[in-house]
Amino acid sequence: MVEFIKVASKSEIRNGYGKVIDINGKSIALMNNNEKFFAVENTCKHMGGPLGEGNCEDGKVICPWHGWSYDLKTGKNTFNEEIKLETYEVKIDGENILIKI
Ligand code: FES
C-alpha cells in the first residue's frame, strides 16, 4: 500500500545537505535545497554512489563520488536526461517530513 510515512524532522537536515533513509527495502536520499525537501533514489546511476551523502544546490543533488548531478524534481541527470532516478512525493506536516512510498 502506498502511503505517506514520517522519515525525518526538518531540523535534522541542514540546508544544502541530505539524509539517507532506508525504508521498505528502498534507499532514498532526502535532500534540503533552500528549506524545500526532495526525495530521490539514493543510488547514483554512475557507479552507485550514495547521493544522500552528497550535497545539493540550485535544485540539483550532486553525487559525492564523481560529481554527477540530478534534478531534484524530475530525477533526471543534468547531462543526459535518459538517465533518471526514481523520485518520491514529499509532504511537510509541521516539523515532520513524510515521504509517499
Ligand atoms: S558514482 Fe555517482 S558520479 Fe560516480
Q: What pLDDT shows up at residue 65?
A: 98
The DSSP line for the chain is ---EEEEEEGGGS-TT-EEEEEETTEEEEEEEETTEEEEEESB-TTT--BGGGSEEETTEEE-TTT--EEETTT-BBSS-TTSB--EE-EEEETTEEEEE-
68 CA closest ligand 1 atom index: 3
Pick the residue whose CA is nearest to atom 3 on ligand 1.
Answer: 66
- Does the Cβ of 98 fall within 6 Å of ligand 1? no
Q: Give the CATH number, domain containing residue 56.
A: 2.102.10.10
Domain that holds residue 74: 4-100
63 CA closest ligand 1 atom index: 2
Mean pLDDT, each 10-residue run in order, the chain (101 residues): 92 97 96 98 98 97 98 98 98 97 90
Q: What's the pTM?
A: 0.96
Task: Tell me how many domains the chain contains.
Answer: 1
Q: What pLDDT shows up at residue 2?
A: 79
